[in-house]
Structure 1
Amino acid sequence: MKAIAKPAGLAVDARHALGEGAHWAHHEAALYWTDIEGARLWRHTPATGVTDDWAMPERLATFAICEDARFVLLGLASGLAFFEPASGVVRPITDIEPGLNTRLNDGKCDRAGNFVFGMKDEAAPPQPVGGFYRLNADLRVERLPLPAAAIANSIAFSPDGGTMYYCDSATRTIRCCDYAPDALPTADRLFVRLGDARGEPDGAAVDADGGLWSAHWGGACVVRYDASGHETERLAVPTTQPTCVAFGGPLLDTLYVTSARIDLDAATLASEPHAGGVFAAVPGRRGLADTRFQGMPR
């Protein structure tokens, strides 16, 4: 394991309750993310320093930029919708798990442009009841045959698209499976069991070399695992609760990290004044451009 010499530095002093869903929009050269509890979508353009935001009709858990860049696919707490930033119009697609006390949590497009996402139980403590789903380009939703989760996270895909990573954060493990965009996942198996005394796996991204970068909620770090599940690099983050990562910048060599202030006590917040902000580092690896969602509003 190699510690990255320079820790992540502050990029946007957002101070969100629950910043999440980091996503680099290459066509705009901008970073998007969400403050789930604030129910807002955010965008920061590093070249200009301009930060924009849009109010959502409910908590926004996850999202994806669409192939038709006029639209953003929203993973709202209760279901899926299209959003047109220019007009502010939200077009519902469908509710997800309406009979359960769950909400959408983490999601990512596979390499073919389908949106794969998982759920979080709203009970305290959360129970493993939420499913993993795929929204296909034709807007058909199917449940994937993966173990139910209390807090679904870490959804990411290998460079060739043949491996899907995911987790239930509460188990402190990351799993993977064989994946094809036109078939159901198979060969589900353990990928990583966290060895640290603290921290849970949260959002993740895969680099161009096939390594999985995992934000460790409660662990104040981002850890890279190679395709065999061995830790190779570790990036310190100056806040306890990093939540999600995304490679961005013109060369996709900047690692952006969102974070959260929620549940931190006063003493911790005093020592971590930028908790809930967006951080950035240059870890010596390059990422892959995120695939856009291929579906269109009807």
Structure 2
Amino acid sequence: MTAHTTELAPRLLWQLGAELGEGPLWLPEQQRLYFVNLKGKALHALDADGSRHSWTLPTFICWIVPRADGDGFLAGLRDGVVRLWLEPELRFDYLARPVQDKPGVRLNDAKADPEGRLWLGTMNSADVHRPDGQLFRLDADGVLSAALDGYHICNGPAFSLDGRTMYHSDSLHGRTYAYDVAADGSLGPARLWRQFGDGEGSPDGMTVDSEGCVWIAQWGGGRVCRYSPDGELLATIAMPVSQPASCVFGGPELKTLYITSAWEGMSDAQRAAEPLAGSLFAVDLDVPGVAPARYGK
């Protein structure tokens, strides 16, 4: 695998001031980056030519995942999973509401795996110290099941290139775990993959590159880091904001790492000291990423 220097410098792409910039997704066929301002109830898109697009939702939008059949997306709203279409106009239909009867609990982060299954996490946003977070699996046939319980803030997941390992974080405790993934989607026991310490921030959104290394946005740590499949630190991107939230590879050769950020929880003084908080950034890298997995068959 390729090592990087620690002098990787992000460039500013869009200073939009998102309270909680999350869920970046690159669609190669559109040459377009999608991402959300979760609490701003907005979905944004940035085209390769610099064109910008935005859509407003009636509630929080946490992420979007492309469908294998190309017919729109799956999206996570505050209280459930929906089918989402953007053309000719925005519309959505609910598929599942796993937190409908759980006060304070909302969807948080999600990703499809190489087998076309959707994995989506939840958290108690009213009290993050409550272990109400769960990880659910939505199979390609539409069956929803709970895969993990007892999380505080579910973040990730990301998958190894062969799909047999899932990386998933409980951000409150700064822990990223690895799980074996069986052919039927069942998970093996949790293995502590990395414990993040003082000054490193909390593991938030993550992605995997074409060498199987894991890139993690480290909330509160002001950095995005690359780790080997064994959890060894390989490279660090120092960010001009303290709360990078997620990252994804994109661009024509999948060699651009796009990074979202947030000002959620900051005081007025902190926001004044970080005028770029909530912006979208990019870093050009030597090792490409991989195209996004899609839901369904």
- TM-score under structure 1 normalisation? 0.94
- Given that residues 110 and 181 in structure 1 are in contact (C-alpha distance below 8 angstroms), is that contact kept between their aligned partners in structure 2? no
Deviation of 1:289 (Å)? 0.5
Q: Residue 39 of structure 2: SS of its match in structure 1?
A: coil
* Residue number among 35, 38, 41 corresponding to 2:37 in the alignment: 35
Q: Deviations over 1:148-194 (max 9, x none)?
A: 21110020000110100001100101001001352311132100011
Q: Does 1:56 align with 2:69?
A: no
1:141 and 2:144 aligned:
yes
Contact 2:176 2:192 in 1 (8 A): yes
**Corresponding residue to 2:47 among 32, 40, 45:** 45
Contact 2:257–2:282 (CA<8 Å) still a contact in 1? Answer: yes
Aligned amino acid, residue 259 of structure 1: S
CA distance in 1, matches of 2:241, 2:233: 21
CA distance in 2, matches of 1:228, 1:176: 10
1:266 maps to what in 2? 268
Question: What is the deviation of 1:71?
Answer: 0.6
Specify the alignment match of 1:224 in structure 2. 226
Change (3 A) 1:125 1:92: closer
Output the aligned Cα RMSD.
1.5
State the alpha-carbon separation in 2 of the partners of residues 276 and 128 from structure 1.
27
Deviation, 1:12, is 1.4
Residue pairs, 1:62-73, within 5 angstroms: 62-73=63-74
Q: % of aligned pairs identical?
A: 32
C-alpha distance in 2 between matches for 1:23 and 1:283: 17
> 1:132–1:148: 8 Å Cα contact kept in structure 2?
no
Q: CA deviation at 1:72?
A: 1.3
What does 1:73-152 correspond to in 2, within 5 Å?
Answer: 73-86=74-87, 87-101=89-103, 102-144=105-147, 146-152=148-154
Q: Is 2:111–2:156's contact at 8 Å kept on the other side of the alignment?
A: no
SS of the counterpart of 2:134?
strand
Contact 2:117 2:138 in 1 (8 A): yes
Q: Is the 8 A contact 2:31 2:252 kept in 1?
A: yes
CA contact (8 A) 1:62 1:104 kept: no
The Cα of 1:125 is off from its aligned counterpart by: 4.1
Kindly state the Cα deviation for residue 58 of structure 1 after the two structures are TM-superposed: 1.2
**What is the one-letter code of the residue matched to 1:174?**
T
Q: Unpaired runs of 5+ in structure 1?
A: none
In structure 1, the residue matched to 2:283 is: 281
- Give distance in 2, aligned partners of 1:180 and 1:63: 25
Aligned partner (choices 287, 290, 293) of residue 292 of structure 2: 290
* Partner-residue secondary structure (3-state), 2:210: coil
Count of matched residue positions in the alignment of Structure 1 and Structure 2:
293
Q: Deviations over 1:107-161 (max 9, x none)?
A: 00001111101101123343111211111111110111x3421110020000110
Stretch moving more, 92-101 or 241-250? 92-101
Equivalent AA in structure 2 for residue 128 of structure 1: P
Aligned with 1:211 (options 198, 210, 213): 213
- The alpha-carbon deviation at position 198 of structure 1 amounts to 4.7
Q: How does 1:245-256 map to 2 (within 5 A)?
A: 245-256=247-258
